[in-house]
Structure 1
């Protein structure tokens, strides 16, 4: 295939014939036509065909040149002459590393070339990490589109990780969003069924949050307080005294990536325990608290063996992107997953439609579970997806692209990041080849029951005096602690609402509230008495 750049730079002949560089000799039909033309053995029809083909190629070149000029002009008008910078080409993420190096070098030379190194103003112009750190490694541990992370040592000897935002990322990000919006609007006009304008809306909402590192630090501390009951979770501590909106200093913690099965085998880490821990953690975030870390790619979830060797320890990083779920959304999402786990078709339809899926609720259920509709009908906890089912899902994804686009534009915006989170977690489980699917479903079910029971207790506290089995306990005559009092209320509500026998409800309560055996037995006696 002829390279467009070579064709555009090819010299044109004075007699109007098409000139093709020898190093880029055409193949196929063009080669046959040009071969006949050069040999002189061709008919009038062949000459006409060759002229037509050459004309089409020239017209294509003119069209490509016109489009290139139009795009370049529109880019200059969009950016403005005053804000134009070579690094603006990073909008298409091509040559970012080279351009960033060039810009940094240019800034350094322009700023410091007239300042002698021994001048007094030189230290003020050139930033000095030694003012904050006893040692700072200039080579980053990792880099992404928004920031890069360095290892450093504070003056008190503590090793820290320093997350530094790229210098021009704020301006560049705003321009990227404008370009994305222009391109999506153009595509929307050509393809009216293309429903992805929500991408721009989500980027406008979430990107400023990710660029504020102090917001990331607050999210990290909030999550630490929420899930402190999980001994397997580690969130690096924040050093507030040396952190800013663009520089985040945190505790340095090492570990292997959550999808690195070989690392876990070398360190004797059980991949099934890792998978179960991830399931417990994210079920707690989504169903109970409604505060969800939405970027769990393998680089943000590290794993290491705990100090006592009792099991794996998860290290959760990068807390810039979180989704806060409203109670209405969270509870309907709980009920939907309960219906999915129970293969309750009526419930799946009802709660999917409450979440905006409409008549596309079968597709919505398949997207949530990453299973076929037949598997959803049978029950997704009956077994893992077979190779045939995976092939079916992949082939149907392309066939149902317009419906998927319509569905994504109609569901609440809270759902979009949850779908992304689900896919990332499934990717980790797939890479680990774990067999913890049943325990993950059990964790989800427990968290759903807990979340719904808590909500029911909260909504019925104003009418608790009318609930006869709980009246004596709630009045304080029993002398029970508030924890057991609330547990008894939840136990009664679950028995009435879900029509469960007391023994089953008691088991669920002991698992959800982690009551000791003595309290559980006393709770059952009070309930039955």
Structure 2
């Protein structure tokens, strides 16, 4: 760490002494020079203090603290490097330069890779934070989203010694003493746990999820570190203030570290969705489960994102997508108890009794929404479909958001300001450019919208964007917006009450609603058909390819 600090000082001195740097540096405004000095001084100070702290004592408790300091300094180093990379690489660059976007993309990519590698090195809490950043795709450049996605599936495996320590501390026995068979080679490794295959004494095949043994011990220290990093980041870049997210992140992580809570969430999910005969939630074996070990029945299936294998095995992508959107739409708009992380690794597809069944895994993180929030969101979606701006404004206000247009765009990932807004399965090139402009130039407006909306809606947006991305992997086989719109607005039509007369009064509204959805579908179909023909004639870009890329940027 001391060597790194020395190299930073040497690099800074070399740059200051070079003619090119000296000329450009003195042409900067005082604010620009002040910002640069912040980067260097912060890096030097942090490196020095951490080096002193780590070397100050050999006491065991301080060693644990030193481990946290190592993660802190590593994070500071990466953060400083990223800031300097952006600052130095773009010196003298203009947004009017034809190569500007290409240069920015290269910087985004290498900085995203640095961030990914740091999260993997630090592990645990940092990987969860990296996963959370992926859900902020409304804000982050696509290079960050695509690079950090690896954190959803690729996490570091830990040694078997840790595994045995957890079982010894929690059960006073080894895995082999508890189970008939236990394979110590993990079949999956996530950010907070590894999953193993085992067989009970009764011969039942089970999945055993075992938490990394140091996570709960290091949680508070890592949260303090991340809080410090966010505050320093805000000092450098006032518009990039994510400190408001930290409390939600800490609470969510505490939920996920309690495997008893995860088991209960799974049981509630199974109960809520019991009327869907195509949904299965693995049963929890409570006699083997505690806070750090979760044992469930073992389920084999195909990852929902493995499109090639699903097709090879004869599954209908239309059927899968309809069930996927109906299931999570029901959670979001009807029960209010929502799986907050339905990424492809958490949804399996299998055949059961001749029909396609979705298996929902990993119930550690759920979001609960109030009835009032669900009703407001239901009316808001209905107003979007009917292009009723007055109602959109009213229900956006009830959700705490002043800019109803931005809220509609964040939730639906479709432009509202540039067009007479319609829900669309895909966007044209002008609309795609508009969304990119929103993400770039009106960054602060998006952040402001996210800050104003109820905390519960943040994970709802993440849920919606994640299942949309799965649909894009499948080639958008269904009109997913129509499915979600019907599920979202079901509650708003129910508010008119019961009885034959009230049903008769609401029937024309339902007809008009369905008519709007039908018109949107027809217009979208013909628009895409014409664009496909023009593309084959060389007169238009490949809009479908563009929109697939945009989907991954905003998922």
Check whether TM > 0.5: yes
Aligned equivalent of 1:422: 464
Distance 1:31 1:186, change over 3 A: closer
- Whether 1:447 aligns to 2:487 is yes
Q: Offset at 1:269?
A: 1.1
Distance 1:19 1:83, change over 3 A: closer
Distance 1:72 1:307, change over 3 A: farther
Aligned equivalent of 2:131: none
Q: Offset at 1:230?
A: 1.0
Q: Secondary structure at the match of 2:65?
A: coil
- Residues in 1 aligned to 2:259 and 2:409: alpha-carbon distance in whole angstroms: 36
- Whether 1:266 aligns to 2:312 is yes
The one of 421, 425, 436 aligned to 1:394: 436
Aligned equivalent of 1:356: 400
Distance 1:97 1:208, change over 3 A: closer
Aligned equivalent of 2:363: 319
Q: Deviations over 1:486-529 (max 9, x none)?
A: xxx25533433565499999xxxxxxxxxxxxxxxxxxxxxxxx
Aligned equivalent of 1:335: 379
Aligned equivalent of 2:412: 369
Q: Secondary structure at the match of 1:84?
A: helix
- Whether 1:495 aligns to 2:501 is no
Bigger Rg over Cα: 1
- Residues in 1 aligned to 2:235 and 2:13: alpha-carbon distance in whole angstroms: 38
- Residues in 1 aligned to 2:461 and 2:169: alpha-carbon distance in whole angstroms: 49
Q: Deviations over 1:218-276 (max 9, x none)?
A: 11111111111112111101101111111000011111211111111111111122111
Q: Secondary structure at the match of 2:180?
A: strand
- Residues in 2 aligned to 1:123 and 1:365: alpha-carbon distance in whole angstroms: 50
Distance 1:293 1:379, change over 3 A: same
Distance 1:221 1:124, change over 3 A: closer
Aligned equivalent of 2:216: 170
Q: Is the 8 A contact 1:177 1:203 kept in 2?
A: no
Q: Offset at 1:127?
A: 4.2
Q: Is the 8 A contact 1:287 1:451 kept in 2?
A: yes
Q: Deviations over 1:108-138 (max 9, x none)?
A: 99x9xxxxxxxxxx99998411222111111
The 5 A counterparts of 1:228-243 are: 228-243=274-289
Q: Offset at 1:452?
A: 3.4
Distance 1:249 1:376, change over 3 A: farther
The 5 A counterparts of 1:427-442 are: 427-437=469-479, 440-442=480-482
Distance 1:284 1:166, change over 3 A: same
Q: Offset at 1:160?
A: 0.5
Q: Offset at 1:366?
A: 0.8
Distance 1:227 1:389, change over 3 A: same
Structure 2 gaps of 5+ residues are 24-37, 76-118, 125-154, 515-555
- Residues in 1 aligned to 2:255 and 2:169: alpha-carbon distance in whole angstroms: 32
- Residues in 2 aligned to 1:412 and 1:333: alpha-carbon distance in whole angstroms: 11
Distance 1:338 1:391, change over 3 A: same
Q: Is the 8 A contact 1:355 1:411 kept in 2?
A: yes
Q: Is the 8 A contact 1:88 1:172 kept in 2?
A: no
Q: Deviations over 1:413-470 (max 9, x none)?
A: 1111111111211111111112202xx334334434442355554xxxxxxxxxxxxx
Could you tell which deviates more after superposition, 225-234 or 182-191? Answer: 182-191
Aligned equivalent of 1:477: none
The 5 A counterparts of 1:187-206 are: 187-206=233-252
Distance 1:227 1:182, change over 3 A: same
Q: Offset at 1:60?
A: 9.7
The one of 48, 59, 68 aligned to 2:47: 68
- Whether 1:299 aligns to 2:345 is yes
Q: Is the 8 A contact 1:235 1:315 kept in 2?
A: yes
- Residues in 1 aligned to 2:20 and 2:382: alpha-carbon distance in whole angstroms: 65
Equivalent pairs, count: 418
Q: Secondary structure at the match of 2:198?
A: strand
Q: Offset at 1:166?
A: 0.5
Structure 1 gaps of 5+ residues are 13-17, 21-25, 34-44, 46-58, 112-121, 458-488, 506-529
The one of 264, 269, 275 aligned to 1:223: 269
Q: Secondary structure at the match of 1:302?
A: strand
Distance 1:72 1:334, change over 3 A: farther
The one of 173, 179, 193 aligned to 2:225: 179
- Whether 1:129 aligns to 2:175 is yes
The 5 A counterparts of 1:463-482 are: none
Q: Offset at 1:147?
A: 0.7
- Whether 1:148 aligns to 2:190 is no
Aligned equivalent of 1:95: 121
Q: Secondary structure at the match of 1:81?
A: helix
The one of 57, 81, 86 aligned to 2:62: 81
Of the two structures, which has the highest relative contact order with CA contacts closer than 8 Å and spacing of 6 or more? 2
Q: Secondary structure at the match of 1:452?
A: helix
Distance 1:410 1:239, change over 3 A: same
- Residues in 2 aligned to 1:330 and 1:384: alpha-carbon distance in whole angstroms: 26
Q: TM-score, normalised by structure 2?
A: 0.66
- Residues in 2 aligned to 1:269 and 1:258: alpha-carbon distance in whole angstroms: 11
Q: Is the 8 A contact 2:418 2:434 kept in 1?
A: no
Q: Secondary structure at the match of 1:380?
A: coil
Q: Offset at 1:19?
A: 12
